[in-house]
Amino acid sequence: MPSLLELARLVNGELVGDGNIQIYGASGIDDAEAGEITFAVSNRILEATGRSKATAVLVQPDAPELDKAVIKVRNPRLAFAQILTLFAPKKDFKPGIHPSAQIGREFEGQDISVGPFVYIGDQVRIGKGSIIYPGAVIDDRVVIGENSIIHANVVIREDTVIGDRVQIHAGTVIGSDGFGYETIAGGKHFKVPQVGKVVIEDDVEIGSNVSVDRATTGVTLIKRGTKIDNLVQIAHNCQVGNDNILCGQAAIAGSTKTGDRVTLAGKAGLVGHIKIGDDSVVAACAMVISSLPPNSFVSGSPARPHAEDMRIQAAMNRLPDLLKEIKELQKRVAELEKRMPD
């Protein structure tokens, strides 16, 4: 077990208290047990640490004195994450291919772990250190890099390319047909074949029950470092930039591109064929219907610049009263008009 001093050094923080104390784990304020370290994201919630059983607390540099040992650090939440990484149980990697797995022709994969009931098609390549959990289906010609994790019952359709250190959570489907039809006589829909593919770059993480569609032609692209939450929809031919954060149930319609470091909050939606500039933030439930310049912050449905949306929302609260005030004004003006001398 690490000492408090060792943890202070790990997170590059300033120790106040006994550096010899052994720390056995890291937990949130309410969950922490004696012997564990916790964190306070802001000084405002420091009093909550009094109720906590935690032995030590990660705090901001200007935090007042506590009756626990503390480590002062610029970003207590990040420091907590770093320490939690130390304590997190390592998935024990069991190299080998389970005898029940079905592996296609011309398979390449050394030092990998493939669980029971996994299906792997023809000409698949998987890099070393990668884990394929039970029930996953990896179709023909899929390429997966090194140290990637494909969770249980994930389906990866043919020709998908996945980088290194990618994690895809259970139940997610990568490379399903894009949703493309041309309407013909009688209102029937003629299917546009979807012959493109999906490329997922290094260090991407994708949550559970997500759908990422293959391109009509060309590529649906998710760039390096992007993190995607559960139940998100990425349509055909989208290009998601580097280091995006796409929260639960967000959706991007076909051919839309996001820049780098874009955030879509929960349930946010982007219509098709638009571009979202770098470092933009789309608030929860917002529906973006046109392209946005870099550093945009929008909310509402349809989405407006956030400050403007806030003003409109505030004004809406006054709307019912406004109707009365206008009626009243109309009466007063009519009265004035009647009384006005010719």
Which residues, numbered 31-50, are part of the site for a copy of itself (CB under 8 A)? 31-32
Other C-beta atoms within 10 Å of 139: how many?
19
Per rule CB under 8 A, is residue 107 in the interface with a copy of itself?
Answer: no
Per rule CB under 8 A, is residue 208 in the interface with a copy of itself?
Answer: yes
Beta strand 56-59 with 36-39: parallel, antiparallel or unpaired? parallel
65 versus 92: smaller Cβ distance to a copy of itself: 92
Residues with active-site annotation: 236
Per rule CB under 8 A, is residue 313 in the interface with a copy of itself?
Answer: yes
Candidates 5-13, 22-30, 59-67, 123-131; binding stretch for a copy of itself (CB under 8 A) = 22-30
67 versus 184: smaller Cβ distance to a copy of itself: 184
Least distance in Å: CB of 316 to a copy of itself? 5
Least distance in Å: CB of 144 to a copy of itself? 16
Candidates 44-52, 65-73, 75-83, 124-132; binding stretch for a copy of itself (CB under 8 A) = 75-83
Candidates 8-16, 30-38, 43-51, 55-63; binding stretch for a copy of itself (CB under 8 A) = 30-38
How many residues bind a copy of itself (CB under 8 A)? The answer is: 122
Per rule CB under 8 A, is residue 77 in the interface with a copy of itself?
Answer: yes
Which residues, numbered 158-187, are part of the site for a copy of itself (CB under 8 A)? 167, 169-173, 176-177, 179-182, 184, 186-187
What 218-223 contacts at long range (C-beta under 8 Å, 24+ apart), as own/partner pairs, is 220/178, 220/196, 222/198, 223/260
146 versus 205: smaller Cβ distance to a copy of itself: 205
Maximum distance among all Cα pairs of the chain, rounded to whole angstroms: 102
Per rule CB under 8 A, is residue 190 in the interface with a copy of itself?
Answer: yes
Per rule CB under 8 A, is residue 243 in the interface with a copy of itself?
Answer: yes
The single residue among 51, 65, 110, 317 that binds a copy of itself, judged by CB under 8 A, is 317
20 versus 183: smaller Cβ distance to a copy of itself: 183
The single residue among 14, 30, 47, 108 that binds a copy of itself, judged by CB under 8 A, is 30
Which residues, numbered 255-274, are part of the site for a copy of itself (CB under 8 A)? 260-261, 266-267, 269, 271
Per rule CB under 8 A, is residue 323 in the interface with a copy of itself?
Answer: yes
Candidates 7-15, 57-65, 66-74, 81-89; binding stretch for a copy of itself (CB under 8 A) = 81-89
Per rule CB under 8 A, is residue 202 in the interface with a copy of itself?
Answer: no
Contact 180, 236 (CB under 8 A): yes
The single residue among 5, 10, 143, 152 that binds a copy of itself, judged by CB under 8 A, is 152
46 versus 206: smaller Cβ distance to a copy of itself: 206
User: Please, which residues have CB within 8 angstroms of residue 148's CB and are 6 or more apart in sequence?
Assistant: 127, 130, 131, 162, 163, 164, 165, 166, 167, 168
Least distance in Å: CB of 65 to a copy of itself? 26
